Chain A
Amino acid sequence: MSPILLLTGLLALAYFGTMLVERRSMRGFGLPSGTEFLLVGVLIGPRFMGLISTPALTSFGGLTAVALAWLALIIGAHYGWARGRRVPARRMLLGVGLASVAVVMTGAAAGLVAWLVTDLDWRDLLLLAMGVGAVSAETTRHAVRWVIERYAAEGPLSELIGDATEADDAVPILMLALIATMAPHEGSLALSFPGWAALLSTVGIGAAMGATCAALFDIEPRTTQRWGIVVGTGLLAVGASTRLGLSGIATTFVMGLTAASLSRQRAALEALLTTTERAVMLPALVLAGAHVGFPDRMPFLPIVIVAVAGRVAAKLLAGRLFRRSLKQEGVGSRTLGLGLLPAGVLSVTAGFACALQLQTIVGEIILAVAVTHAIVGEIVGPVFLRRALRSAGEIRSAAADTPHPVPARVIEGARRLVARGPRLRSSERPPKLRASQSSDIGDDPR
C-alpha cells in the first residue's frame, strides 16, 4: 500500500471512526477505553492480514511521532482538571504517587526477568524497565469515565478515582522524557546533553512554546487564526525538540500544560484541542496496532507476564490505599484495585513512542506490553470498577444490572412523552437523569 493511499485511508478512518465513536453510546457498542481501533490495527498490520505493509508503516514513522506528540499536547492541556474543576493537590499527589509505584514495581519486575532470560546489556535493560514502567503507570480515565457516566455513578469514590486517573498521566510522560535522554540517536542529529540538561531543555522548550501559544491565543479573537497559532506552536515544539534528540511527547505535554495554565481562554483552548483528539487518536491507534508484533528472537512472554502481574499488584495496592483514604468499608480493596486496571490511549501512545524511538527489540517488547495491558484492562477493569462502585453505593443496583443502560436520548424522548401524554405509573417512569447525563453519554469521554 502506498503511503499516500495509507494516509488517505487513515484520514477516512478518522472521519468514519469519529462518527462511529460519537454514536457508540446510542448503539451500545464500543470498548470503554476506546482501544478497539488498536485491535483493527493489529489485524490489518503486516504481521496478520498485511493490508498495511512494513515499508508504508516505516514511511509514516515521523508523522506518527507527530500524532502522538499532538495527543500529549491535548493530554497536557487537560492535565489537572476534572469535570470542569481543578483536581485538589492532595489527589494529584496521590495519583502521581500511585502511578510512580506502578512504574517501579512493573519496571523492576520486567527488568529483572529480562536480565535473567535475555542477554540485553545494562542500557537496554534499563530502557526496557523504564519503558515497561511507563506503559504500566496509568489507569485510563476514558474507561473510568465510561463506567461512571454510563452507570450514573456519584459519590466520593467515583470522584476520587476520577481525580486520581486524571493526575497519573504525568508519570508516563516523564518516563518518556527520561527514555529520550538515554536512547541512542541517529548520529549527527544527536547532542551529547547530560541527562539533567536534556530534561531541562525539554521542559524549557515546552514551557516557552506553551507560553507563546497562550499569549498569542489570548490576543487573537478569530478561531481560524487560533488554529494557526496552536498548530504552528505545536509542530514547531515537537519538531525542534525531536531535532535536538529530546522527547517530542514530553515537550508537547509541558507545552499543553503551560498553555492551559497561562491562558485566560483556557476553556476555548481546551475545546479547540479536544475537537482534534479523535481525528488524531484513531489513526494513531490503528498505526500503533499495526506496529505490534510478537518478537520471536527472544523469550518475551515471561516479560509480558511479569509486567502484567506487576501492574496488577500495583493496582491492588492502589485499591487498598483508595479504600483506606475514603474509609469505604463496603468496598473490597481487591475489587477496587482490579477496577483500576484499564489502560488505554496514553499507555499505547507511550509504548508506541518507545517502539518508534528505540527501533529495537526492546521497543517492540514495550509496545507488546502496552497492548497487553490495554487488552487485559479492557476485559477485567470495567467489570470490577462497576462492582466496586456498586458496593460503595454509588451506582443504583437497577442501573448496574442493565447490560446496556438506556441511552440518554431515549430517556429524554420518553421524558418529553411523559410531559405531553398520559402520566405513567411510577414503576414505568424512566430513571431521573443528572444534568451531566443530558447530553450523549460517551460522546466525549472527557
Chain B
Amino acid sequence: MSALEATQSKSASARLVQAAALVVTFGLLLTATRLAPAEAGVVGTVAGLGFLLLAGTLTSELIEALGIPHLTGYLLAGVLAGPDVLALIDRATLAQLGPVNTLALSLIALAGGAELHIELLRSTARSLAWASLLQHSLVMMASVAAFIALAPFTPFADLRPASLWGVALLWGAVAATRSPAALLGIISQLRPKGPLTTFSIAFVMLSDLLCIVIVAFTMALVRPLFDASAIFSFNDIRQLVRELVGSVALGGAVGLALSIYLKLFGKNRLLVLLALGVGLAELLRYIQFDALLAFLVAGFFVRNFSEQGPKLLEAVQRTGVIVFVIFFAVAGAKIELALLAKVGGVVLALCAVRFATTLLAARASSKLAADEPVLRRWGWSALISQAGFTLGITMVVARAFPSIADAFTTLAIAAVAINETIGPVLFKIGLDRAGESGAGDASSERPPSSAL
C-alpha cells in the first residue's frame, strides 16, 4: 500500500486512536519532565528521541487530513515539545541529538544522490542551466540589496559600510541555499512523478554543490571587508578545492564499496547504512571534508555506475520515515520563538524578498529554457524551503567570521524557521496542483524480516 493510499484510507476511528496516542505521548513526557525536571543526560536524549519520533509521526498523520504535508507535522511536534513552549525537550537534549541529526543528514544526502540519474540530468540540462544561473544570481543579488536596505533594523546597524556589504554578501550566499531534506521528505511522503519532481530533484541537488562553491568564494571575497589588513587570499580557494575534490573522491570510493556490497551480499542494509552514516560522517568531520557532498556522490555513483541503484534507494527510503521525522522534529524543537519574535519583522521581509525573487527567477528561467507549462507555473515551489544544509552553511560562515557570528546566526536561524515552515507546504501544493502526487512507484512494503 502506498503512503497516500494508506493515509487516505484511514477511518475516523483510526484518527481518534492516533489523537489519543498523541495525548498519551505528550502526557507521559510531560509527567516525566515535571516530576524529574533536572537535565537528564542520555536518558533525556533517549526519551526525547522516542517522543519526537512518535509525536512527529502522529502529528503529521493527524494534520494530513487538512492537506498539510508531513514535514510540517514533524516541525509542529518539535515546536510544541521544544524549550519555548512545553519544554519537554531541553536545549542540552537537543545538543545531544546532534549526532543523530548528522546521521539523518548523511542518509538524506545519500538518498538525494541516489535520486539523481544521469538521464534525468541530461533531460533537464537546459532548464537546469538557466535555473541555476538565474536562481543563484538573482536571489543572491536581491537578498544583498534587501539586506542593505533593511540593515538599520538588524543588529548590524552600527557596522561600517564595508563590513555591512560583507555581511550582506554572506547573507546573499546563504539565501541562495535550498533544502534537500525538505525536498526528499515531501517526495518520500507523496511519491510524486513528473517533470516538476524531476526538475526539483535535479536542481536542488545541483544547487547544493553550487552553493558550497559560492559560499566559499564569497567568504574569500569578503574577508578584506572585515579586516582592513587582510588581502584577498587564495588560501580559502585552495581549501575549497581540496575539500571538494577530497569529498568527491571519497564519496566515489564509498559508492564503489556500496555497489560491491549490494551486489555480493545485500543483507542487513539498514545496519550497513547506519554504520556508514555514523563512521563515515565522523571520519569526514575529522579530515574536514564535506559530508553532504561525499554522501551525495556516493549515492550518485551507486545509482549511475552500478546496477544496484534500486536496492540502495529502497534501503534508504525504508529509513526515510524515521530519518525525516527526527530531522524535522529536532529542527522544530530548535526554533527559538522568542528570537523569532525579536527579529521576526525584518527576517520576514528578507524572506519575502527571497520568495519573490525565487518566483521571478523561476518564471524567467522557465521561459528562457522553454519549459513545460507545469514547470513554468510550479517550478519555484520546491525552492523556498531551507533547513539543515542552510544551517550548516551558516555555521561555516559563523566560524569564519566570529565578530558577526551571533547576530548573523540569529538572523539565519529565524529565516530558516520561516522558510522550513512554509516551504514544504508550498511544494506539496505545487505537486498536488501539477497532478504529480502519488504518481510515482508506491514503494512496496516488504515483510519486516528484510528490514535489518
Contacts and interface: CB of A to CB of B under 8 A. Distances in A.
A294 interface: no
Nearest to A224: B321
A242 B449 CA distance: 30
B249 interface: no
Interface string B41-54: 11111111111011
A221 B32 contact: no
Contacts of A244: 32, 35-36
B448 to A, nearest CB: 4
A62 B322 contact: no
B339 interface: no
B21 interface: yes
Contact of A233 (B40, B54, B447, B452): B54
Contact of B50 (A222, A223, A231, A271): A231
Q: Which one of B31, B47, B274, B278 has the highest number of Cβ atoms from chain A below 10 Å of its Cβ?
A: B47
B42 A63 contact: yes
A187 B37 CA distance: 12
Interface string B110-152: 0000000000000000000000000000000000000000000
Nearest to A238: B46
A17 to B, nearest CB: 10
A225 B321 contact: yes
Contacts of B325: 228
Contacts of B239: none
Contact of B47 (A212, A215, A236, A276): A236
A236 B51 contact: yes
B386 interface: no
Interface in A153-193: 187-191
B267 interface: yes
A95 interface: no
Nearest to A188: B38
Contacts of A18: 268, 271, 452
Given A7-B278, A271-B448, A240 B32 contact: yes
B273 to A, nearest CB: 10
Q: Which of B17, B57, B321, B452 has the largest number of chain A CB atoms within 10 A?
A: B452
A376 interface: no
B281 to A, nearest CB: 9
Contacts of A221: 1, 6, 445
A344 interface: no
Given A11-B278, A239-B46, A208 B54 contact: no
B53 A235 contact: yes
A187 B41 CA distance: 13
Contact of B53 (A63, A205, A232): A232
Nearest to B49: A235
Interface size class for chain A? 35 or more
A10 to B, nearest CB: 9
B396 interface: no
A407 to B, nearest CB: 19
B451 A275 contact: yes
Nearest to A4: B282
Pick the most buried of B46, B267, B272: most chain A CB atoms within 10 A of its CB: B46
Interface string B1-23: 10100100010001001101100
B29 A236 contact: yes
Nearest to A242: B43
B47 A243 contact: yes
Nearest to B37: A188
Nearest to B268: A15
Contact of A222 (B1, B54, B449, B452): B1
A227 interface: yes
Contacts of B430: none
A411 interface: no
A108 to B, nearest CB: 33
Contacts of A190: 36
A15 B321 contact: no
The 9 A-B pairs of least Cβ separation, nearest first, read: A239-B47, A62-B42, A235-B50, A232-B54, A236-B50, A8-B279, A232-B53, A188-B38, A11-B275
9 contacts: A4-B282, A11-B271, A62-B41, A224-B445, A228-B325, A233-B50, A235-B46, A240-B31, A275-B452
Interface of A: 2, 4-5, 7-8, 11-12, 14-15, 18-19, 61-63, 65-66, 187-191, 205, 208-209, 212, 215-216, 219-229, 231-240, 242-245, 268, 271-272, 275-276, 279
Interface of B: 1, 3, 6, 10, 14, 17-18, 20-21, 24-25, 28-29, 31-33, 35-38, 40-51, 53-54, 57-58, 99, 267-268, 271-272, 274-275, 278-279, 282, 317-318, 320-322, 325, 443, 445-449, 451-452
